[in-house]
């Protein structure tokens, strides 16, 4: 067996049950085989085995009191994966499905993603199995305060700087930030995605969705007339999905579907974004309500969204939401490109279908890196005690996404895999982190 195959088997045998982590690690290490095989320094210094284990994982309980005065308790985690190129950086997720395997896969991916941005940020991820859905603002606040009462010990502007993710938006970041400040008395940049009144960056809310479309536009310009006139199928209706839809319109495309965990809407005339924002951001409602605003749109409960014919597919909800059968349906219906707005939304089998049918495939660690990139820019502004305009931030985001396109294309071509952005993104992200580990004296 080759070095990487052996290593993958070894890591899997030592991390029983961590299926999402196995999936992400297997993809990355398989893509790195030609790099580590041709460079003995990486093997001698044990770079890959070290990358497979977080520098530190913190697991803690979060007790809180609901509105009926009942004590509730959740489990929370912070996985500090790699500080090779900067302080740990990666979001906090609140969702009932959260467990150590999911956060390890996310922290692992984040390490390479952050390397691709070119910014000095390491990799981490955190979260809790808390479901903010159906909770009052007061309950969410008490939960966030209790979580930060433990988590604050491990954060710092030069140590670990989390952001939002699924279930964690401006409201939750605000409550966590307030509690950190209350405990420590320090007004410092320990979270990004903050509100604009207390240190947030313009353009952070939009960054992941916008960045995804900037990358897809860069890629598609190489093969056709960019996004112009393209119909885009987008899953999810949260932060990433909504701003992906907004930028799709701005670049000349038409978003025709969106979803949530209940079902999906298909609006052949193009999604009405004002209605979608009202339902999701203001009312915190369900996507089924969309047809009240748009009688021509159709709501379908459950899955099946990827059967709707489209030119490009942008999965922006969650991991493993797009399966092999979905990939086959998209391919058969003429889809030419897929960009992962979410983290690992396509299963390994689905990716294989796209790649073997020459459907352009942009993996999440490149395609959704715009969010963490602008989080990095938020940290920079906080350090400088300055506030850039939206245009300045957006300009920097565009150039970071163009840089990512360049880096992953060049890395893939260097190893004779031109156009394979999975390999390219993994190799380029890896090299940045691995070289830093070597330089710092690999022990
Ligand atoms: P939000 O919580 O704002 O939105 C998540 C969306 O996905 C909602 O529409 C939600 O529906 C849906 N969803 C979540 N879980 C499931 C599930 N198990 N099945 C079906 N639908 C689901 O999260 P974000 O938009 O911030 O994040 C979406 C993805 O993008 C995640 O993979 C995240 O890791 C990734 N990402 C986010 C970044 C950011 O800046 N926010 C940065 C980079 C990546 P419902 O409301 O019904 O649960």
Per residue of the chain (443 residues), give pLDDT as tens: 699 999 999 999 999 999 999 999 999 999 999 999 999 999 999 999 999 999 999 999 999 999 999 999 999 999 999 999 999 999 999 999 999 999 999 999 999 999 999 999 999 999 999 999 999 999 999 999 999 999 999 999 999 999 999 999 999 999 999 999 999 999 999 999 999 999 999 999 999 999 999 999 999 997 878 999 999 999 999 999 999 999 999 999 999 999 999 999 999 999 999 999 999 999 999 999 999 999 999 999 999 999 999 999 999 999 999 999 999 999 999 999 999 999 999 999 999 999 999 999 999 999 999 999 999 999 999 999 999 999 999 999 999 999 999 999 999 999 999 999 999 999 999 999 999 999 998 65
- Measured from the CA of 259, which atom of ligand 1 is nearest? 9
Ligand 1 pocket test, candidate residues 111, 166, 246, 343, most atoms within 8 A of CB: 166
d(CA 291, CA 175): 33
C-beta 258 within 6 A of ligand 1? no
Question: 0.85 cut: is pTM over it?
Answer: yes
Ligand 1 pocket test, candidate residues 108, 317, 373, most atoms within 8 A of CB: 317
- Measured from the CA of 95, which atom of ligand 1 is nearest? 15
Catalytic, 125? Answer yes
Nearest to 249 by CA among 285, 274, 224: 274
d(CA 394, CA 84): 27
Q: Whose CA is nearest to atom 42 of ligand 1?
A: 371
d(CA 8, CA 97): 25
C-beta 236 within 6 A of ligand 1? yes
CA atoms within 13 A on the CB side of 118: 13
Q: How many CB atoms lie within 10 A of CB 171?
A: 16
Place of tokens 């809180």: 64
C-beta 92 within 6 A of ligand 1? no
d(CA 344, CA 306): 16
Question: What's the 400 CA to ligand 1 centre distance in angstroms?
Answer: 23
- Dig out the tokens for 246 from the structure: 């907004």
Ligand 1 pocket test, candidate residues 94, 106, 204, 236, most atoms within 8 A of CB: 236
Q: Whose CA is nearest to atom 2 of ligand 1?
A: 166
Catalytic residue among 89, 104, 113, 125, which?
125
- Do 359 and 330 contact (CB within 8 A), yes or no? yes
C-beta 343 within 6 A of ligand 1? yes
C-beta 378 within 6 A of ligand 1? no
């Amino acid at each position: 067996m080759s070095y990487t195959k052996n290593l993958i088997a070894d890591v899997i045998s030592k991390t029983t049950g961590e299926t999402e982590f196995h999936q992400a690690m297997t993809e990355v290490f398989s893509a790195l085989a030609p790099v580590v095989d041709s460079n003995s320094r990486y093997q001698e210094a044990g770079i890959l085995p070290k990358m497979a284990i977080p520098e530190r994982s913190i697991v803690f309980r979060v007790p809180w009191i609901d509105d009926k005065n009942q004590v509730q308790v959740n489990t929370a985690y912070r996985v500090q994966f790699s500080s090779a190129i900067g302080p740990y950086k990666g979001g906090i997720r609140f969702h009932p499905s959260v467990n150590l395997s999911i956060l390890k896969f996310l922290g692992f991916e984040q390490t390479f993603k952050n390397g691709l941005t070119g910014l000095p940020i390491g990799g981490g991820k955190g979260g809790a199995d808390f479901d903010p859905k159906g909770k009052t603002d007061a309950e969410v606040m008490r939960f966030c305060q209790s979580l930060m009462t433990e988590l604050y010990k491990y954060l710092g502007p030069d140590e670990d700087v989390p952001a939002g993710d699924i279930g964690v938006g401006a409201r939750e970041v605000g409550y966590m930030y307030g509690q950190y400040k209350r405990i420590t008395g320090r007004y410092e940049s320990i979270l990004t995605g903050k509100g604009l009144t207390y240190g947030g960056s313009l353009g952070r809310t939009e960054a992941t969705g916008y960045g995804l479309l900037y990358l897809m536009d860069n890629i598609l310009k190489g093969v056709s007339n960019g996004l112009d006139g393209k119909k885009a199928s987008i899953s999810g209706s949260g932060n990433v999905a909504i701003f992906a839809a907004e930028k799709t319109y701005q670049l000349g495309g038409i978003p025709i579907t969106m979803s949530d965990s209940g079902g999906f809407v298909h609006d052949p005339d193009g999604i009405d974004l004002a209605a979608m924002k009202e339902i999701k951001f203001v009312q915190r409602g369900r996507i089924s309500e969309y047809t009240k605003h748009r009688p021509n749109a159709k709501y379908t409960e459950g899955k099946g969204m990827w059967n709707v014919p489209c030119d490009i597919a942008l999965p922006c909800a969650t991991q493993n939401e797009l399966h092999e059968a979905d990939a086959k349906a998209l391919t058969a219906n003429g889809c030419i490109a897929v960009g992962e707005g979410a983290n690992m939304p396509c299963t390994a089998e689905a990716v294989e279908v796209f790649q073997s049918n020459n459907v352009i495939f942009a993996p999440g660690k490149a395609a959704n890196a715009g969010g963490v990139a602008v989080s990095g820019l938020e940290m920079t502004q906080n350090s400088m005690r300055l506030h850039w305009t939206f245009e300045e931030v957006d300009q920097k985001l565009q150039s970071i996404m163009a840089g990512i396109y360049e880096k992953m294309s060049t890395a893939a071509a260097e190893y004779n895999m031109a156009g394979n952005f999975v390999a390219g993104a993994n190799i380029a992200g890896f090299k940045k982190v691995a070289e830093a580990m070597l330089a710092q004296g690999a022990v």
